[in-house]
Structure 1
Amino acid sequence: MKQIEQKITEIQNELKESPNNAELLNELGVGYHMLGEYQKAVEAYRQSIAEDAENFKVHFNLANTFFEQQEVEKAVNYYLNALDIQPDYVPALNNLADVYELAEDNDRAQELFEYITKIKPDDPMGYFNLGNFHLRTNNTVEAGKCYKKAIELDPKFHEAYNNIGFILKHIGQYEEAISYFEQCLEIAPDYEPAQKDLAACREALSK
């Protein structure tokens, strides 16, 4: 916390010399956001945008701050602003999809999660996030396909192994689930969700 406050003081001193520096104003907003001083963050981001309206990352940062303040409509508008400037900016697409899902607009959310896998077909995280969406909406078959695609792209993606194991555990396929949990733990031995579910599967088989 003190480091952030010190950084803010340094930025404020630099802004005395360059009060219209859009990058410094953005950094100031980031600092305030990290401290939870969201209104000050909003003011800094808006000043930054006034100086450089084409920096999509500042629109994205402002959207995140509005989301933290539960001002969802404003958050959506600024995510869309970021995407108008940079249409393939995945963090904005992801966060916008999350907002739509929270608003129970699952069709729009799914459309965005799927779009990410189309524009970044070699990125395993896109398939993992789409899989998580399907899992949250109880579409376990599609979720499993997405996790397998993530593993195909990144064989060390331990969370994807874990999530397939989770699906198999919940449909009572304990032996197959154990195999996936073990593969997860080979990559990440301290991953607690897999440790707990592996123990639960072994216990279920022993009964």
Structure 2
Amino acid sequence: MRSTMIASAMFALALVFAVAAAPAQAGMVVQVPSGETIYGFPSDPTIIAREERRADSGDLAGATADLALYVAAHPAERGPMVLLGDFYYRARALKQAEQTYRAALELGSAREIHNRLGGVLALEQRYDDAIAEFRASLPLPEGFVHLIALHRMLGDLDVFVAQTASVANRHPSDANYAVDLGLVYDAAGRAEDALAAYRRAVDLDPNDPVGYDGIGSVLISQEHYAEALHPLQQALSLQPAFVAALNNLGDAYLGLKDMRSARRYLELAAAIDPRDASVLVNLGVLEDLGGNRAVALDHYRRAIAVDPFQLEAYYDTAADYDAQGQHELAEAVTLKGLAIDARDGILHFNLAVIEDELGRHQNALKEYRLAAALGNPQAARLAKLALSQLERTPTSVR
């Protein structure tokens, strides 16, 4: 399927150049490189929804090929072009994704496209270019989250935290800067500082749901699930279709083992944005807890395809394989996660557990030591415990 995908991508790019100067109108003529002439490509307002459904049902290559033809015939329609870039990204055809997103940007700058392009460049390890694109996506929240992830990958998150704190201090009356500070503190494992920053944001702008959502998110990370409900409900009272708050509320109910409420909020979030990777991960956890492991694994795979920086999807996929005794598959997924972020403590801890199960005890010791030295407090604590009590075999972090 991948070779077909790449072939169709090359075909599509040739088409883009062939029709770039032609007007997008019904009945236009497109001549493909083989010499064949295709007639009649009227504008189709259903193309995005139709090809998204097709790709999500498993026919990504076919959806990509047909959408590439449509984009070639309608070079002024940015929506289908961005979706084509998304399809290339999901197939990890990164050069084609980059070219398609850049073509979309030529039709007019858009923060979300800069964010997508930054993700492509980060996977290609073109980190300076990726940082530039993520910065161009600001103040888009997803762009800032990816910017944090990239600095963590580069090992200079502490520097970025200090820079963000300095900027926030220069804007003490702006809730947006307080929210940014909460995000970086949370990513750095400084939960109490993150809570203080989010509460500051709420004080500055009590009508902005983002601060309340941040408070709830941090409380969930501290396993204070019941306490997280109220700020998340406040966020939704201000913005009922706020996907992040719906997702976090579902996550809180997962922690409280209230599966019915969890499903309600997670499905509401998925109905609004079926491609949100964090929502897909939590839906996977919900299915896991219900014993539907195959469905859960499908959610995790989709989350990784949409956003390979969603590390929780690697954790949970590996844990599912590990629980089934498929240790080699668990190892492969964990190594893929480490290829994205080699400094993630939970991934190193989980790899140590898997290596122990495979009888590679020296490799396990190495991974435990790495996990103990990295920034995730939970992974560091468990790794240190494992190193001091090697006769006990810890379980994977979920």
**TM-score with structure 1 length normalisation?**
0.66
Classify the secondary structure of the residue corresponding to 1:36. helix
Cα shift readout 1:54-77 (whole Å, capped 9, x = no counterpart): 321232233234445543222212
Alpha-carbon distance in structure 1 between the residues aligned to 2:247 and 2:365: 36
Q: Contact between 1:38 and 1:65, CA under 8 Å: does it hold in 2?
A: yes
Match of 2:55 in 1: none
CA RMSD after TM alignment: 3.9
Cα shift readout 1:6-50 (whole Å, capped 9, x = no counterpart): x59x76x976xxxxx4628955984998683577557635533xx
Cα shift readout 1:82-132 (whole Å, capped 9, x = no counterpart): 122222322222222111111111121111111112112355553233112
Q: Contact between 2:368 and 2:386, CA under 8 Å: does it hold in 1?
A: no
Match of 2:123 in 1: none
1:168 and 2:355 are equivalent in the alignment = yes
Higher helix share: 1
Alpha-carbon distance in structure 1 between the residues aligned to 2:210 and 2:249: 15
1:131 and 2:321 are equivalent in the alignment = no
Equivalent pairs: percent with the same residue?
13
Alpha-carbon distance in structure 1 between the residues aligned to 2:371 and 2:354: 19
1:95 and 2:300 are equivalent in the alignment = no
Q: Contact between 1:22 and 1:47, CA under 8 Å: does it hold in 2?
A: no
Alpha-carbon distance in structure 1 between the residues aligned to 2:347 and 2:214: 36
Higher relative contact order (CA 8 A, sep 6+): 1
Alpha-carbon distance in structure 2 between the residues aligned to 1:25 and 1:151: 31
Match of 2:226 in 1: 36
For residues 9-158 of structure 1, what are the structure 2 equivalents within 5 Å?
21=207, 23=209, 26=212, 30=216, 36-37=226-227, 40=230, 44=234, 47-48=237-238, 52-121=239-308, 123-158=310-345
Alpha-carbon distance in structure 2 between the residues aligned to 1:147 and 1:194: 16
Alpha-carbon distance in structure 2 between the residues aligned to 1:121 and 1:27: 23
Aligned length: 186
Asked which structure has the greater CA Rg, the reply is: 2
Alpha-carbon distance in structure 1 between the residues aligned to 2:313 and 2:241: 26
User: Structure 1 residues 162, 67: CA separation in 2 closer, same or farther (over 3 Å shift)?
Assistant: closer
Alpha-carbon distance in structure 1 between the residues aligned to 2:352 and 2:225: 38
Q: Contact between 1:151 and 1:160, CA under 8 Å: does it hold in 2?
A: yes
Point out where structure 2 has 5 or more consecutive residues left out of the alignment.
1-191, 375-379, 392-398
Q: CA deviation at 1:183?
A: 4.3
Point out where structure 1 has 5 or more consecutive residues left out of the alignment.
16-20, 203-207
